[in-house]
Amino acid sequence: MLHAGHIPDAVTGARAVPIYQTTSYVFEDTDKAAQLFELKQYGNIYTRINNPTTAVFEERIASLENATGAVATASGMAAQFTTMMTLLNPGDEIVSSSHLYGGTMTQFTHTFKKLGVKAHFVDPTDIENWAAAITPKTRAWYGETIGNPQGSILDLEALADLAHAHNIPLIVDSTFATPYLCRPMDWGADIVVHSATKFIGGHGSSIAGVVLDSGKFDFSSFATIADPDPAYHELKFYETFGHYGFLMKARAVTVRDTGGALSPFNAFLLIQGLETLSVRMDRHVNNALAIAKFLSEHPKVEWVAYAGLPNNRYHALAQKYLPQGAGAVFTFGIKSSNPRRAGKEFIEGLHLFSHLANVGDARSLVIHPGSTTHQQLSDAELEAAGVSAGMIRLSIGLETTEDLLWDLDQSLQATSA
Amino acid sequence: MGPGSELASDIRLNTLLNESDRAKFQDAVMIRKILNTSKTIAIVGLSPNSARASHFVGTYLASEGYRVIPVNPRATEIFGEKAYPDLLSIPFAIDLVDVFRNPDECVDVAKQAVQIRAKAFWLQLRVVNFDAARIAEAGGLQVVMDRCVKMEHGRYTGSLHWVGMNTELISARRGQRYI
């Protein structure tokens, strides 16, 4: 978290990572320039493709995830879009967990439809569902380590084994876990994506994403990676670059052409975030567990869905994949004859929890998914995504535990039954 | 005992070799020594097709200042250098023999590398042949297996890092060129 990806600058000796706030880089000579454009030299061309500050973030997160490399993107949404646009052709299909961030579901359903890609959504908790949804066109499986918002835990090892038996790469969004709590590639995941906006940045200051590849999946049968690429003078990315063919294609073609590159300043802020990831995550999960226990015993609380609690249906999976803590985002429901109204009253009665559409800030956050993040979904889609009308989602921050308990308690007491 | 002023590194990712074979055939100090002392590199299986991996590696090494000698019976000249049908036909000394061939062809190449008294024998990424390694080793050559010359050069000159790759190098010392 502190050293990987950055060796102090040879010329200045600067210890912190310098911010290379530049669009472009002067070439050594015309031959080297031509070779850079042909990808025969590694080097900096243009910040839409790579940048020395961003490269530190990329290598550092790759080191933390045990990945062969990484491509940073402007947002988490851009990270998953970059991944899919690199892997898929029109007519291809993906199978995805339905326990997803609402924005991801919308991207997969509607934006991908425009590109000729069909997404099949399955209840991720029954492994049979994944295999049953495979068609000859299936090119990827996708799920979240900790599903947003219902807090289900993906059975990574079983899913990876089954995906590989069908020659399908397993893509995991590990935003809620961070590489400190879980490294999906150690369980067989092939590609990991993050919304680095959340716990990685950690301070609610920067929108960012990242795509990581284990380098282990055999993409030789994937037309998009293995066939001669007309967008790059007939280069065969997989044959030429092997274990980093996917990432080179993602960087040199997908991000180059779709433009979702990370800014160097945001990369710097993410690097600052990563330096304290372990100490912050310990505090996030300790606070989250204390609050989940408190709520589960509170007379005004109907249910709490946190895999860190022993009675949760995902507790065994959480112990296997997230032994240091089941994350710091979870949901609960208020005991009320009118849960929608009670949810509204509860949120409006809070003093310390910020009501906004984000998670993974240093500060504690609260939201009502049914009316915000998941509002584009139909009732049926809401149900499939496990979002109930009165569900409240909390993202537990780094405040003193007692202060958070006080705030939740006073607002629950004031909420009408 | 630490590595002293040498860069400490443990490169574990992206190889088919186990830990003891990695220590033997991918030792970081040996790799840097080969890249620092070699001047002339024969690439066996260098393709004239500019889209092939071997061509990428050859172009890169030539632009980094090495003299790259193509060994390919089906080529006459590749980027300005005369191509030879095999190692034995090269009329001058070769420091490093870099091999882009199927593993089952590597024993013959190893025998030739010994015969021409090359100093090092390098089998590219995913080219693994322990018999070939043993022959080259017995002939006094340093042997690298299942690594890419270009990637290793880029790892220690810092350029591999620029494309977001995990170089697995960690150091708080002031940066320097290790190659």
Contact A8 B175 (CB under 8 A): yes
Range of the domain at A235: 30-273
Query: Does residue B18 form part of some domain?
Result: no
Query: Does residue B11 form part of some domain?
Result: no
Residue A149: both structure tokens together: 């918002």
pLDDT of residue A78: 98
Whether complex ipTM tops 0.85:
yes
Kind of pairing between the strands at A391-395 and A329-334: antiparallel
H helix or E strand, kind and range, residue A139: strand A138-144
pLDDT of residue A197: 98
**Coil, helix or strand at residue A71:** strand
**Coil, helix or strand at residue B161:** helix
Contact B51 A234 (CB under 8 A): yes
Query: Does residue A345 form part of some domain?
Result: yes
How many angstroms from the chain centroid is the CA of residue A277? 15
Query: Does residue A368 form part of some domain?
Result: yes
Number of domains, chain B: 1
Nearest CA to A106 among A377, A354, A405?
A: A377
Q: What is the pLDDT of residues A72-120, one digit of tens each?
A: 999 999 999 999 999 999 999 999 999 999 899 999 999 999 999 999 9
**Coil, helix or strand at residue A22:** coil
What is the percentage of chain B residues whose pLDDT exceeds 70?
97
Last residue of a domain, one of A245, A273, A301: A273
Mean pLDDT of chain A: 94
Q: Which of B165, B168, B171 to mutate to probe the A interface, most A CBs <10 Å? A: B165
Q: Which of A38, A41, A244 sits opposite B165 (nearest CB)?
A: A244
Phi and psi, residue A318, nearest 5°: -65, -40
**Coil, helix or strand at residue A191:** strand
The answer to whether residues A265 and A295 belong to one domain is no
Rounded distance between C-alpha atoms, residue B32 and residue B98, angstroms = 15
pLDDT of residue A379: 65
Rounded distance between C-alpha atoms, residue A37 and residue A206, angstroms = 30
Query: Does residue B176 form part of some domain?
Result: no
pLDDT of residue A369: 78
Contact A7 B175 (CB under 8 A): yes
Rounded distance between C-alpha atoms, residue A382 and residue A380, angstroms = 5
CATH number at residue A351: 3.90.1150.10
Q: Which residues of B touch A229 (CB under 8 A)?
A: none
- Segment A231-258 shows an average pLDDT of 93
- Give yes or no for a contact between A226 and A219, defined as CB atoms under 8 angstroms apart: yes
- Give yes or no for a contact between A160 and A187, defined as CB atoms under 8 angstroms apart: yes
Q: What is the pLDDT of residues A267-317, one digit of tens each?
A: 999 999 999 999 999 999 999 999 999 999 999 999 999 999 999 999 999
Query: Does residue B128 form part of some domain?
Result: yes
H helix or E strand, kind and range, residue B82: strand B81-82
**Coil, helix or strand at residue A18:** coil
Look-up of token digits 């020395």: A52
- Give yes or no for a contact between A284 and A273, defined as CB atoms under 8 angstroms apart: no
Q: How large is the C-alpha radius of gyration of chain B?
A: 16
- Give yes or no for a contact between B72 and B46, defined as CB atoms under 8 angstroms apart: yes
Q: Which residues of B touch A251 (CB under 8 A)?
A: 163-164
CATH number at residue A161: 3.40.640.10
Q: Which residues of B touch A236 (CB under 8 A)?
A: 51
Contact B51 A8 (CB under 8 A): no
pLDDT of residue B1: 44
CA-based torsion, A153, A158, A164, A165: positive or negative: negative
- Give yes or no for a contact between A207 and A90, defined as CB atoms under 8 angstroms apart: no
Residue B76: both structure tokens together: 């006459």
pLDDT of residue B137: 98
Q: Does A247 touch chain B (CB under 8 A)?
A: yes
Q: What is the pLDDT of residues A327-380, one digit of tens each?
A: 999 999 999 888 778 888 999 999 999 999 999 999 999 998 777 776 777 767
The answer to whether residues A135 and A264 belong to one domain is yes
Rounded distance between C-alpha atoms, residue A366 and residue A364, angstroms = 7
What is the torsion angle, in degrees rounded to the nearest 10, for the CA atoms of residue A282, residue A283, residue A285 and residue A286? 110
What is the percentage of chain A residues whose pLDDT exceeds 90?
85
pLDDT of residue B3: 62
Contact A8 B173 (CB under 8 A): yes
Q: Which of B56, B161, B172 sits opposite A40 (nearest CB)?
A: B56
Rounded distance between C-alpha atoms, residue A193 and residue A281, angstroms = 18
The letter for the amino acid at B28 is A
Q: Does A18 touch chain B (CB under 8 A)?
A: no
Low-confidence ranges of chain B (pLDDT < 50): 1
Rounded distance between C-alpha atoms, residue A173 and residue A171, angstroms = 7
Rounded distance between C-alpha atoms, residue B173 and residue B65, angstroms = 27
How many angstroms from the chain centroid is the CA of residue B149? 4
H helix or E strand, kind and range, residue A315: helix A315-321
The answer to whether residues A250 and A376 belong to one domain is no
Q: Count of CB atoms within 10 A of residue B147's CB? A: 23
Query: Does residue A258 form part of some domain?
Result: yes
Rounded distance between C-alpha atoms, residue A375 and residue A368, angstroms = 10
The answer to whether residues A205 and A143 belong to one domain is yes
pLDDT of residue A387: 78
The answer to whether residues A366 and A290 belong to one domain is yes
Strand order in the sheet with A191-195: A69-73, A209-213, A191-195, A170-173, A138-144, A93-97, A118-122
Helical segments of A297-400, H only: 315-321, 339-348, 379-384
The answer to whether residues A140 and A173 belong to one domain is yes
The answer to whether residues A266 and A290 belong to one domain is no
Query: Does residue A111 form part of some domain?
Result: yes
The answer to whether residues A333 and A398 belong to one domain is yes
The letter for the amino acid at B18 is N
Q: Does A123 touch chain B (CB under 8 A)?
A: no
Query: Does residue B87 form part of some domain?
Result: yes
Q: Which of A7, A28, A220 to mutate to probe the B interface, most B CBs <10 Å? A: A7
CA-based torsion, A231, A235, A238, A242: positive or negative: negative
Contact A72 B164 (CB under 8 A): yes
Q: How large is the C-alpha radius of gyration of chain A?
A: 22
3-class SS shares of chain A: helix, strand, coil, % to 5: 40, 15, 45
Range of the domain at B140: 25-162
- CA angle at residue B121 from B119 to B123, to 5 degrees? 165
Compute the nearest-CA separation of A41 from chain B (Å): 6
Rounded distance between C-alpha atoms, residue A385 and residue A389, angstroms = 12
Look-up of token digits 């906004």: A356
Last residue of a domain, one of A219, A254, A273: A273
The answer to whether residues A210 and A305 belong to one domain is no
CATH number at residue B128: 3.40.50.720
Distances (CA, A) of A55 to A49, A310, A372: 10, 41, 35
pLDDT of residue B2: 55
Last residue of a domain, one of A258, A273, A288: A273
